Amino acid sequence: MDGLEVFEGDIAMLDVDAIANAANNRLWMGAGVAGAIKRAGGEVIEQEAVALGPIELGEAVATGAGSLKARHVIHGAVMGQDLTTNADLVRRTTRRCLEVAEDLGARSLALPAFGTGVGGLPVDECARVMVAEARSFEPRSLERVVFAVFGAEAEETFVDAVEATR
């Protein structure tokens, strides 16, 4: 896939067809990315998500997006109740989010830096894995994937990963 971008800021504010949520397998939306999405889009997102759970680690499900600009939120179970993750789980979750976005007919998807907050995965490892998975994905409808990250260091790391795979 060619249309990879990096955005430093709040994923919930992006004008894309779908945004991905770094979820736990029970799909509760607490802190971090999930909390930002719930605050911006409303409790209805979490209510819809929890009704679909629990899901397997590495799986993803879609809900409506409440009052967000996006039409859908894709909840990727990148960690379980122990709140830890690893590179393989980030890779699988990234792939599933891309597939679910395709199933929804989305043309654009924003992905957070899965597992780098609560999950404790180093940003450079996350960037390498997520960018490689997105780059190797063969889309039907997706034209644009935006990696939404927090902080200049994470932004630079993801930009470097995108550039390294061109």
Q: Binning pLDDT at 50, 70 and 90, where does residue 81 land?
A: confident
Q: What span, in angstroms and rounded, lies between the C-alpha atoms of 51 and 73?
A: 14
35 Cβ contact list (under 8 Å, min separation 6): 29
Backbone angles phi, psi at 111, to 5 degrees: -120, 135
Quick one: three-class SS letters along 29-69?
CCCHHHHHHHHHHCHHHHHHHHHHCCCCCCCEEEEECCCCC
Residue 102 predicted with pLDDT over 90: yes
Structurally, at CATH architecture level, domain 4-164 sits in 3-Layer(aba) Sandwich (3.40)
Residue 36 predicted with pLDDT over 90: yes
Residue 82 predicted with pLDDT over 90: no
Residue 37 predicted with pLDDT over 90: yes
Convert the pLDDT of each residue in 55-78 to its tens digit.
Answer: 999 999 999 999 999 999 999 999
Overall average pLDDT of the 10-36 stretch: 95
pTM equals 0.97
